[in-house]
Structure 1
Amino acid sequence: MNMNYKPFIEEKTKRINKKLNFQRWFYSILGIITISIIVLLTIEQIRDMKKESNELAICLLLIAHSVAVLVSMLSTAIFCRITNAVLTTLTIILLCACTGAHFYIRFSLYRNQPKEDLHLVAVRLGFVFILLILLLPWTIIMVHEYQKNILSDKRMLNPKSTAFSWFLYLDFLLISSLIILNIRNQSSFGLYHILFLSIGILLALLWLYMGIRMTDKKTRHGVFSTIFYILSLLHIIYLGHNIYGAVTEYNMLLKTNESTLFSLLIIIFLYNGTNVLIHILTILISFILIDI
């Protein structure tokens, strides 16, 4: 009796596989097109801005977030894992929050700032919301259906290790964002900023790699944990220095009634506050992870 049903089960599985393959690549292509438009609009804003404009850091940050969304989206389409889907969701939400906060602060909170690129920034924000509406339901439904219909013998995920991986990835995005946000404008962007960006991103990547190695029971070693916590401590010191510098700069601008940097500084405050919370949670979860 089982032998008679086997061809029907195999045929059903093939149909499900074909449907899911079409869905994941169809929505991935739509996502890639949307991300490409967002990046092109941001590049166009950089081309049109003056060298003294303080919007450069925000533009570079949006490009970095867009690339992160693209990589995460493709990994979800290729591997169809719950972890990849959640990371895609977190990355899109972060991109949407950054774009929305920047638009509100610059054009609603401080109305006296220049608005020559209002139309371009508004159109970009619209495409970011389209991306959010398009891909959030897709990642949830697609992965759920894939695991329900195909991965009947899937391995159970370790909840502690999975949660740590999510916080690790989000923390890395925030760390990289704060490094990028130290740039002010094209006229002041020199060798110092290039070195700072290079060293900062490399250390952040090293920290991320050490964290990933800590989640692997087979390769976990005290060296990985030691380097991870040393770099985590350095980042806490950097966060404190970054907050102090932003507060000092904000107070100086208040005295001179200069508001061109206000939107960037408020974004820096928001990212610092979020990063402090996420970084502390990442470290706390890493302590729990060691006892697995």
Structure 2
Amino acid sequence: MKALLFIETDGEKALGGSLELISAVKALDAEGTALIVGNRAAADTVAALGIPVIYIDTAADCDTFTEVLSETVKEQNPDIILLANTALAKDIAPRIAGRMCLGCVSDVIGMSKTDSKVIYTRPAYGGTILEHIEVEGTAVVTIRNGSFPKPEAASNAGVTEKKVEIPASAVKAKIVDTVKEISESVNLEEAEVIVSGGRGMGNPENFKLVEELARVLGGVVGATRPPIEDGWISRAHQVGQSGKIVAPKLYIACGISGATQHTSGMSGSNYIVAINKDEDAPIFEIANVAIVGNVTEILPVMIEEMKKVKGKE
């Protein structure tokens, strides 16, 4: 079984979610090849993880990435095409599948091999159930961040440089300008510690406690939809079904009840601490540690204790 991995970069390094694809391929005992576009340093880094890399330096946007990946699929003829479940991949994956008449499965959190077939597992109905999908023929698959471990260093498998000519007709849209908020530079998907606040924080002044705890822990601030809609924090920090899907080592939920729309985006976290005054809050069903009490009284104590611990390090 052959797999082609599209390794996405942030301009400097390969994304953590993309690197997890290497572990996904090894779990399937498949023969993998990685495709990296426009970042030679990242190509060398990935090759050092034991997977051969095809490097192409001719793409800069969704249209050109799609063209490069399409041509590589034609050349490699893989059984599986894997991408991390990023915003870019959500655009590219269905394009490749539609263009080449392939199956497409998104937001996969697990894969298992039976005989010559692969069963893809993904959450459905807001994460309330898991569905198992089998695809006839080649499949284009996006993998949710945190579903597989980061790969370890192995013998260098080498980098092969190739050229792909991109016809002018392939470019359908041209990016004229990009406007980003400063907060959008925060990468929730890559964060190891996330402190999130919900409606239960009460007001923007109290929400600053969430930001302070995140700062002390060296983490990133997350939020549910209500604080964002009320203007307490930028939409770039939203975690959940209509926000970012995250899987940090530690997730602290502050004043969050645990609606499915939110928990479907963070239930893959390694360790969950939840603080809520309602002992029957749904968030406690998935929490490793449940703290029942007033979040605005508990957070200052946690912040001070964390400062003491950090001061001893």
TM-score of the aligned structures, taking structure 1 as reference length:
0.25
Structure of larger gyration radius: 1
Q: Which structure carries more relative contact order (alpha carbon 8 Å, separation 6+)?
A: 1
Normalised to the residue count of structure 2, the TM-score between the two structures is: 0.23
Higher normalized strand content (fraction of residues): 2
